[in-house]
Amino acid sequence: MVVRDGPHRSAPLEVLMLQRSHRADFAGGAYVFPGGALDPGDGGARVERLCRGLSDDAASAILGMENGGLAYWVAAVRECFEEAGLLFARAADGAAVSFSDPGVAARFARARTELLARERSFPEVCESEGLSLSVDALHYVAHWITPAVSPRRFDTRFFLAAAPEHQSAAHDAGETISHVWVRPADALEHHRAGRMALVLPTIKNLQAIGRFSTAAELLDAASAVGEVPTVLPRVVRDHSGARLLIPGYDAGAGAGGPVDLDPAGSLRRG
């Protein structure tokens, strides 16, 4: 979830959303946050050397894994660049990557095209540009797993970050067909009105971040997040038919699940 402050005076917080291609196998036409599957090149010693401010040991501890946790942060950075054109990285001189210079912007646009075509790997791009990945700019805030009865299952980690300065979002025109900066409350209203298709975890995360007025307020809360519980909905069937229950939200969702969760499972407004 990439956020920024927009022009609205009372509640300027906006989040970037991408519309998936209608031809997509999953959630075709839905609006989602940038993201995707882990790539084998997202993990390992080569990539860890490129990361700034977070080791694999520390990342794995945050996720409750023995090892390999840093790959999730790297995947989030890579997918943001591939799908949305936003790159969380620093140049060799330590400055945040900026696309203000047309020549630099064109060079990274070519690199993005090559990544999408699988002509180059993300580590190759980073090494050739002398980049370090700003994984420390991403806050881990939610963890959702699809119900056991789902024909296709996903184990998804959600991160939150402020939009990089001097960069502009642009959908990839392949997997995604449009993009929009939108206030969370407006996205939810568009969904209720049938103008914006959203899947359940997206709805719940929008509800969570939408309780904050500004990006700074939200990011302060994200930086203070401790343990992130896992949200695993389950399907129950009774006289009313089949229903989806979410532990922590719905009465009767079952013991053993997380309780007293707010919509994202971890973000709390003080």
* The pLDDT of residue 242 is above 60: yes
Q: Is residue 237 part of a domain?
A: no
Q: Is residue 266 part of a domain?
A: no
Q: Is residue 71 part of a domain?
A: yes
Q: Is residue 86 part of a domain?
A: yes
Overall domain count for the chain: 1
Over residues 32-45, the mean pLDDT reads 94
Render pLDDT for 109-168 as a digit per residue (tens, 0 to 9): 999 999 999 999 999 999 999 999 999 999 999 999 887 666 677 889 999 999 999 999
Render pLDDT for 75-97 as a digit per residue (tens, 0 to 9): 999 999 999 999 999 999 999 99
pLDDT, position 229:
86
| CATH code where residue 6 lies | 3.90.79.10
What average pLDDT does the structure give for the chain?
88
pLDDT, position 266:
62
The sign of the dihedral angle between the CA atoms of 191, 195, 199, 205 is negative
Q: Is the pTM of this model over 0.85?
A: yes
Q: Is residue 181 part of a domain?
A: yes
- Tell me the residue range of the domain where 197 lies: 2-230
Query: Poorest-confidence range of 69-78, 140-149, 235-244?
Result: 235-244
pLDDT, position 268:
63
Q: Is residue 87 part of a domain?
A: yes
* The pLDDT of residue 253 is above 90: no
Would you place residue 252 in the very low, low, confident or very high pLDDT band (cuts 50, 70, 90)? Answer: very low
